[in-house]
Chains A and B, each alone.
Chain A
Amino acid sequence: MKNKYSIFSLIKNAFSQHENWKQAWGNPEPKKEYEAVIVGGGGHGLATAYYLAKKHNMKNIAVLEKGWIGGGNTGRNTTIIRSNYLWDASAGLYDHALKIWENLSQELNYNIMFSQRGVMNLAHNLQDVRDLKRRTHANRLNGIDAVWLDTKQVKEFCPIINISQDIRYPVLGGTLQRRAGTARHDAVAWGYARGADAMGVDIIQNCEVKGIKRNGDQVEGLDTTKGFIKTKKIGVVAAGHSSVIANMAGLKLPLESKPLQALVSEPVKPIIDTVVMSNAVHAYVSQSDKGELVIGAGTDAYISYTQRGSHDVVEGTLKAILELYPIFSRMKMLRQWGGIVDICPDASPIISKTNIKGLYFNCGWGTGGFKATPGSGDLFAHTIANDEPHKLNAAFNLNRFVSGDLVDEHGAAAVAH
Chain B
Amino acid sequence: MFVINCPHCGERDQSEFSCGGEAHIVRPKQPTELSDDEWAEYLFMRKNTKGVQFERWNHAHGCRKWFNMVRDTSNDKIHAVYKMGEKPPVI
A→B interface (CB under 8 Å): 241, 243-244, 247, 252-257, 300-306, 310-312, 342, 345, 401-404
> Are the CB atoms of B73 and A305 closer together than 8 Å?
yes
> Are the CB atoms of A303 and B19 closer together than 8 Å?
yes
Binary contact track B45-57/A, C-beta < 8 Å → 1, others 0: 1111110010100
Q: Which of A300, A303, A310, A342 has the most CB of B within 10 A?
A: A303
> Are the CB atoms of A252 and B76 closer together than 8 Å?
no
In B4-42, which residues have CB < 8 Å from any A CB?
13-15, 18-19, 21, 36-37, 39-41
User: B43: which A residues are within 8 A, CB to CB?
Assistant: 345, 401
> Are the CB atoms of B46 and A403 closer together than 8 Å?
no
Question: What residue in chain A is nearest B44 (Cβ atoms)?
Answer: A254
Question: What residue in chain A is nearest B53 (Cβ atoms)?
Answer: A303
Question: What residue in chain B is nearest A259 (Cβ atoms)?
Answer: B76
> Are the CB atoms of B1 and A302 closer together than 8 Å?
no
A125 shortest CB reach to chain B, Å: 23
User: A402: which B residues are within 8 A, CB to CB?
Assistant: 36-37, 39-40
> Are the CB atoms of B19 and A301 closer together than 8 Å?
yes
Chain B contact residues: helix, strand, loop or mixed: mixed
> Are the CB atoms of A243 and B46 closer together than 8 Å?
yes
User: A241: which B residues are within 8 A, CB to CB?
Assistant: 50
Compute how far the CA of A319 lies from the CA of B19 in the bound complex, rounded to whole angstroms: 24
User: A244: which B residues are within 8 A, CB to CB?
Assistant: 48, 50
User: A304: which B residues are within 8 A, CB to CB?
Assistant: 73, 76
User: A247: which B residues are within 8 A, CB to CB?
Assistant: 47
Question: What residue in chain A is nearest B47 (Cβ atoms)?
Answer: A252
Among the listed B44, B53, B55, which residue makes an inter-chain contact with A401, where contact means beta carbons less than 8 Å apart? B44
> Are the CB atoms of A254 and B45 closer together than 8 Å?
yes
Among the listed A253, A257, A303, A312, which residue makes an inter-chain contact with B1, where contact means beta carbons less than 8 Å apart? A312
> Are the CB atoms of B73 and A256 closer together than 8 Å?
no
Compute how far the CA of A302 lies from the CA of B49 in the bound complex, rounded to whole angstroms: 12
> Are the CB atoms of B1 and A401 closer together than 8 Å?
no
User: A255: which B residues are within 8 A, CB to CB?
Assistant: 46, 48
> Are the CB atoms of B18 and A301 closer together than 8 Å?
yes
Question: What residue in chain B is nearest A313 (Cβ atoms)?
Answer: B1
Between A and B, 8 residue pairs with Cβ closer than 8 Å are A243-B46, A243-B47, A305-B74, A310-B14, A311-B1, A342-B48, A401-B45, A403-B36
